[in-house]
Structure 1
Amino acid sequence: MPVKITMEDLKRKLAGPQYKLTPQRKTVLQIFLDRPGQHLSAEDVHFILKENKFEIGLATVYRSLELLTELNILNYLDFGDGCRRYELNEASPNEHQHHHLICLDCGKVMEFADDLLGDLEATISQKCDFHIIDHQLKFFGYCKECQKKREQES
């Protein structure tokens, strides 16, 4: 079950001598807080910033996203299209993230929350003597709308 993340939660994660919640990082974080469930690239974040008249360079956006991923505030996602995306990490500790359904026609990404791999993960962990902390699962196919479009074209 996702946990509602606030800016205060994120400030606590960034508290410490080596990290500061700079105005730029706070602005980047706010973009993700304002768009729950969206999967944004650095370019998407930069475009939103420019659209809202924030003067933050693309390199700063990249550095912020990398740090926030390192701190487990954001999750890095690779949908196999060469574009690195991020989303807010809203999972409770020791809880698996959701999985993704990716349409091969329109590129739409849907989230799938059920974790059906618990037994498989336990088996793999035991057989390979490997402590698994998380997994990601991506399904590639066609969304409902693209299925209809493909049927009409046939």
Structure 2
Amino acid sequence: MMSILTSAQINKLKEDLKERGYKLTPQRRAIVDTIIDNEGSHLTVEEIYDQVKKTCPEIGLATVYRTIVLLEELGIIYKLDLNDGCSRYELVHEDETHRHHHLICNNCGKVIEVQGDLLESLEEKIEKGYKFKIKDHSVKFFGICEECYKKDNKD
């Protein structure tokens, strides 16, 4: 099932690509749609490739890699390292001033996104105390999710 990008999003993407000398090809569109359709899943390039191949069977893994690099350069997606040895990708949301935080289960590997910026007051203290202008931050919390905790503590 393909995601529907708004015409404003498509136009912005086309403009961003055009400014850099690229076009929004059907393959690039399918990759972007796949990332949108799987938002919150934190897919690897190989997982994106497997999904895109269903609608674009002719696409090659190298095309997906090149497109992911391009989309990251354009600021449409960003790389997320969840300390599992894989680079994963997710959409950049225009309304977010910073990336959201992630809770990562050490047991099952589930990733839970924490909505809202919990570090605003800490950032202000750091900026004032160290005279350092923070542009972004990335926070990951490692532990045990509710389901794994319940399984491990049945008694």
- In the superposition, the TM-score normalised over structure 1's length comes to 0.85
Residue ranges of structure 1 left out of the alignment (5+ in a row): none
Aligned residues: 149
Code of the residue aligned with 1:78 in structure 2: it is D
Q: Name the structure 1 match of 2:130.
A: 128
Q: Name the structure 2 match of 1:34.
A: 37
Q: Name the structure 2 match of 1:102.
A: 104
Deviations 1:34-83 (A, max 9, x none): 22222110010111122335221111111111110111100210000111
CA-atom RMSD in angstroms? 2.0
Residue ranges of structure 2 left out of the alignment (5+ in a row): 1-5
CA drift at 1:23: 2.4
Residue of structure 2 aligned with 1:68, choices 47, 66, 71: 71
Describe how 1:69-88 pairs up with structure 2 within 5 A. Answer: 69-88=72-91
CA drift at 1:11: 2.5
Q: Distance in 2 between matches of 1:13 and 1:126?
A: 35
Moved over 4 A (4+): none
Q: Distance in 2 between matches of 1:17 and 1:111?
A: 32
Q: Name the structure 1 match of 2:55.
A: 52
Q: Distance in 2 between matches of 1:105 and 1:8?
A: 42
Higher relative contact order (Cα pairs below 8 Å, separated by 6+ residues): 1
Q: Distance in 1 between matches of 2:152 and 2:61?
A: 38
Q: Percent identity?
A: 47
